[in-house]
């Protein structure tokens, strides 16, 4: 058995709080895109739980796709240089695209991705992030749909990891220094 290296703090967001907010976001997207189809693009791997939950709260014709990106650098800091590890399977031209992300921190990853995807001329492109850490923003970018604003703490659970662990927690917690 691997030794546990991190000390988790109390629960920040419970399963119930997350589920309720995800349902609200899904309903809002359903209203905003009434009569249209949407393509949800999940950013692997952190967005997986959020993606599977929110897609079932959107009452529209929904397609999904995934991208995998990595920012060069350490495990708890974004370097701003983004590498595409897995690109989309399909063309997004003329589609209503919503990027589904776990957390917006510096914003550098999403700023890069937004520019990258806009070149493919989608009909529209919005960002839906479960968590937002506005205090850490360095890129000039805002999400269109935000689940919760969080303080400058290192968050884990419900998709979010530290060293690839804790993604499977059904709630959201944070790592003590």
To the query of whether residue 102 is one of the catalytic residues in this protein, the response is no
Tell me the residue length of the chain: 177
Q: Which is nearer to Mg ion, 58 or 130 (CB)?
A: 130
- Residue 105 neighbours by CB under 8 Å, 6+ apart: 78, 133, 136, 137
Cα separation, 7 vs 113, in Å, equals 32
CA distance 71 to 118: 20
Binds 78: which of Mg ion, ligand IMP, none (CB < 5-8 Å by kind): ligand IMP
Annotate 150-159 with b (16+ C-beta within 10 A) or e (fewer).
beeebbbbbb
Nearer to ligand IMP, 53 or 101 (CB): 101
Assess 169 for contact with ligand IMP (CB under 6 A): no
Per CB under 5 A, contacts with Mg ion among 146-165 are none
Looking only at residues 54 through 73 of this chain, which bind ligand IMP when binding is defined by CB under 6 A? 71
Report d(CA 63, CA 154) in Å as an integer.
31
For the CB of residue 43, give the shortest distance to Mg ion in the complex, in Å.
Answer: 5
- Identity of the residue, 37 or 149, whose beta carbon is nearer to Mg ion in the bound complex: 149
3-state helix, strand, coil in the chain (%, to 5): 25, 35, 45
Among 103, 113, 128, 130, binds ligand IMP (CB under 6 A): 103
Among 40, 58, 98, 155, binds ligand IMP (CB under 6 A): 155
Supply the residues annotated as catalytic.
Answer: 105
Can you give the binding site for ligand IMP, defined by CB under 6 A? Answer: 46, 71, 78, 101-109, 154-155, 160
């Amino acid at each position: 058995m691997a030794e546990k290296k991190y000390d988790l703090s109390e629960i920040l967001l419970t399963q119930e709080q997350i589920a309720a907010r995800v349902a609200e976001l899904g309903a809002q997207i359903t209203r905003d895109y009434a009569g249209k189809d949407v393509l949800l693009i999940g950013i692997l791997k952190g967005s997986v739980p959020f993606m599977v939950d929110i897609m079932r709260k959107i009452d529209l014709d929904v397609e999904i796709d995934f991208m995998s990106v990595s920012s060069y650098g350490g495990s708890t800091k974004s370097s701003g240089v983004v590498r595409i590890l897995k690109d989309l399977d399909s063309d997004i031209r003329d589609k209503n695209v919503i990027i589904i992300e776990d957390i917006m921190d510096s914003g550098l990853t999403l700023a890069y991705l937004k520019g990258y995807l806009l070149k493919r001329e989608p009909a529209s492109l919005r960002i839906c992030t479960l968590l937002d850490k506005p205090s850490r923003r360095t890129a000039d970018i805002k999400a269109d749909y935000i689940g919760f604003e969080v303080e400058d703490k290192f968050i884990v659970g419900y998709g979010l990891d530290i060293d690839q662990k804790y993604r499977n927690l059904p709630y959201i917690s944070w790592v003590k220094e």
